[in-house]
Structure 1
Amino acid sequence: MRPRHLSRRVLLAGGAAALTACSASGPPPQPPSQAPDSPETLLLKELIAEKERTIALYSSLIAGGAQKLVPFRDRHQAHLNELRKHVKATAPTRLSASGSATPSATAMPKTSLSRLRDLERKAAALRARQLASVSPGMAQLIASIGACEAAHAVALPRSL
């Protein structure tokens, strides 16, 4: 009896089946990775996080009876709402029944009017530097927010 030689076609077909079987038992294919955020989106996310912290600081004083600060906090909430329109999948700040933003689970630092005034002043100064890397429409929004923050720094009451 003569030894049987396998044809090239039979060998290739068997090799392809073996490769398919090996790859089927391996790890599942990974979905394509999400494209990195643009510099403008990164800035918007930073602004959103900053606004959430600012709202929480105002809310902590309002919860202590500083009702004079409600309009200031509400303007920051309006800024936050507008910023969120330009970024997908950003979790909204939860509002309590009184309409105040609920602070995160982390402990809130001691807040004072002078701290809020300083925060508003620094935020307003930062806005001008942020305009260079964004589209014209976004630059208008950020400049408007900065103008409001500058007005807050001046208009905050000296005492509660």
Structure 2
Amino acid sequence: MPVRVSRRALLGGGAALATPLVAGVSGCAGDESAQPRPKADVGVLLAAIADEERLIALYEKVAAAHQDLPAHFPAALNHHREHLAALRRHYVPGTGVTPTPVPTTAPPEPPADLGAARTALRQAEKSAAAARVADSGRVAPGVAQLMASIGACEAGHAARLGFA
């Protein structure tokens, strides 16, 4: 003969069994004072975002100060805007503890001479490329691929600025 279980008994028993599972999954079973820690990727992403913002600002200042720019200049600026968008897509605000903010410094005014302005851009690109290579060793593999790709692009910009 089949055993009959009332709905009330089933729901009550199910809730009793589920309570320890929910408590364990939600972290309630451990130390309540423990705060979630952000992954290392968060700080690296914020630093890369700040670098891209500075590069974009520097390119825009050079563009405003000099009308006789090389043909590849707008493409490089657009690449940096694309890099910034990609980095921002990987950063999820509100995940974990708020990391220490990266100090943002405005780029200096570009030199009046176009050659000197290009040299300043080239140096900024080389520094950014080196930073992204270093970043690629400090983050998860998926983010490392993004950092390496951005760094390679920035190295290419630096090379073009040296020849054009």
Same fold (TM over 0.5): yes
Cα deviation for residue 124 of structure 1 reads 1.4
Distance 1:121 1:67 in 2: 18
Counterpart residue number, 1:59: 60
2:51 pairs with 1:50: yes
Q: Identity percentage over the alignment?
A: 39
- Answering whether residue 103 of structure 2 is matched by residue 75 of structure 1, we say no
Asked if structure 1 preserves the Cα contact closer than 8 Å seen for 2:122 and 2:162, the reply is no
Letter in 2 for 1:109: P
1:125 is the counterpart of 2:124: no
In structure 2, what is the equivalent of residue 114 of structure 1?
A: 119
**Letter matched to residue 49 of structure 1:** A
The 5-angstrom pairing of residues 1-150 of structure 1 reads 35-64=36-65, 65=67, 66=69, 68=71, 69-89=73-93, 108-111=107-110, 112-150=117-155
SS of corresponding position for 2:92: coil
TM-score by length of 2: 0.60
The answer to whether the 8 A contact 2:129-2:154 is kept is: yes
Between the aligned partners of 1:107 and 1:143, the Cα distance in structure 2 is 25
CA distances 1:42-96 after superposition (whole Å, capped 9, x unpaired): 1001100110010000011112223742111110000000000011249xxxxxx
Computing the radius of gyration over CA atoms, which structure comes out larger, 1 or 2?
1
Cα distance in 2 between the residues matched to 1:155 and 1:121: 11
Q: Is the 8 A contact 1:120 1:150 kept in 2?
A: yes
Amino acid at match of 1:39: A
The answer to whether structure 1 residue 151 and structure 2 residue 151 are counterparts is no
Output the CA distance in 2 between the equivalents of 1:107 and 1:149: 19
Measured at CA, do residues 107 and 155 of structure 1 come closer, stay the same or move farther in structure 2, by a change above 3 Å?
Answer: closer
Distance 2:61 2:162 in 1: 16
Aligned mates of 1:130, 1:55 — CA distance in 2: 19
Q: What TM-score comes out, normalization by structure 1 length?
A: 0.62
Conserved? CA contact 1:127–1:142, under 8 Å: yes
**Separation in structure 2 between the aligned mates of residue 33 and residue 50 of structure 1, nearest angstrom:** 32
Distance between the aligned counterparts of 2:106 and 2:44, measured in 1? Answer: 25
> Do 1:44 and 1:87's aligned partners in 2 also have CA atoms closer than 8 Å?
yes
Q: What displacement does 1:149 show?
A: 0.7
Q: Which has the higher contact order (CA 8 A, sep 6+)?
A: 2
Aligned length: 113
